Amino acid sequence: MTTKRIFKAAVLVNSISSLDPAFKNAFQENITTASRDAQVDFFDPIKTQIYPEIGEYDLIVLTGGNVADAAAKDIPWLLKMQEFLRATVDKSPMQKIVGVCWGHQLTHITFGGTVGSMNEFEVGVTPVTLTHEGSAFYSGSFPSNDELRIHQFHEREVKVPGKGFVALAENNQCLVNAANTILTFQGHPEMSAELSKLLLEDTPKYKGQSEEEIEVLDSKINRPHDGIAVWARIIQWAGEA
């Protein structure tokens, strides 16, 4: 009798917040929905600075963050994470890694890209236009083969991708490296409307000032999104050679 292999994911939580339990639960739910019985282990790279053993997980996830500018050059725990990424690519070249929002930005900085401020905040479910490569990568994953709908929650973005990365969506919203081992998203495939609203309570400046702005934002947050389908594709991709 063959025992079914359990999918293992390591999630590096790049935040310090009272909302971290809800944040972790979002990743837990999405990953186990995409791969039933998956083992999801969480790591704290900020305080304890404990990392997963390289090569022991099918997938390593770098979450969004609220503690430091991903481009900072004088924060020890942040520099240690960049060292971990480089060491992982060097020692375990087939390791699959996903970067989300802040994790997306840090990944590109680590491999030679740049990040900068946007002219405005981006919050709520937003359609992201896929490139030709993106349409091929996500073929059959969504109702539309031209775009994916994903929660956004950020005010900084990747200006120049890391070396060797290919755009799967316009405006550096989703990229994959040439080796097909690192996949990054500016948006939040793990996020729900409920989690987005909780984060807004922690980030008042994103909420808007007028009643009209608040209504528009609320409408965007409650739009249908492709988060579960994205995670299904991520898990599938993690198992590809």
Which residues are part of the catalytic machinery?
A: 101, 188, 190
Torsion of CA 87, 113, 191, 76, to 10 degrees: 50
Give how far Cα 168 sits from Cα of 35, 104, 145, 178, 197, Å.
23, 13, 12, 12, 28
Closest CA to 112 of 71, 78, 60: 71
What sign for the dihedral angle of Cα 147, 151, 153, 158? Answer: negative
Burial of 106 (0-12, 13-18, 19+ CB in 10 A): buried
C-alpha–C-alpha distance, residues 181 and 240, integer Å: 9
- CB under 8 Å to 89, separation ≥6 — which residues? 95, 181, 182
CA distance 114 to 165: 13
Taking Cα atoms as reference points, which of 130, 233, 237 lies closest to residue 177?
Answer: 237
Q: Which two tokens stand for residue 40?
A: 């999801």
* 136 closest CA partner among 107, 172, 108, 168: 168
Sign of the CA dihedral with 176 first, then 44, 236, and 130 last: negative
